[in-house]
Amino acid sequence: MSFGSTLMPRQNPDRLLMVYNADQGFFNALNDWAHKFFSPETYDCRLCHYTYGLTGMLAPWKAFIESQPFTTEFSYRPKFWQMHPEMRSLPLPVILTEKAGRFEVLLSAEEIKAAGGLEPLIACVRSKLELWRPGPGSPGLAHGTS
């Protein structure tokens, strides 16, 4: 498996990987919930902050993810680092694309933070994904576009 930061050929990725700057598990989720409720401005994971409310994944984000023509997976910091130790220095949260075992940064931690909210985040992800998709009639599109 390799890692890079350049754009790949214009074709759908095999998957989109959302990596949260958080730990998983019931007590961690409870702690994160309390942190978002009492002090949202200091919460470390902007990806979580923008895409999850106090009761779960926000409907617009869920609809956007479900509309994509490829698999989307979610990972938490410890599991991601365990599976990909070569990426420990990558600032989190991050949204990655994977194609044939090669990861590319779709949205960096800085870009996620700069989005400032859910709708701008969706627009940014959508815009970046358009770079991956060929135009109508171009070869190489394995799935339909949304």
DSSP secondary structure of 32-83: HHHHHHH-GGG-S-HHHHHHEETTEE-HHHHHHHHTSSSEEEEEEHHHHHHH
Q: How far apart are CA 56 and CA 66, in angstroms?
A: 16
Nearest residue to 93 (alpha-carbon basis) of 63, 114, 120, 119 = 114
Domain boundaries in the chain? Answer: 2-130
pTM of the predicted protein model: 0.71
Q: How far apart are CA 23 and CA 58, in angstroms?
A: 19
Residues 6+ away with beta carbon under 8 Å from 117: 50
CATH topology for the 2-130 domain:
Glutaredoxin (3.40.30)
Cβ–Cβ < 8 Å for 96, 107:
no
pLDDT in tens, the chain (146 residues): 445 444 444 467 788 999 988 666 554 554 555 445 555 565 567 787 788 777 788 999 999 999 988 889 999 888 998 899 999 999 999 999 998 888 999 999 999 999 999 999 999 999 998 876 644 443 333 333 33
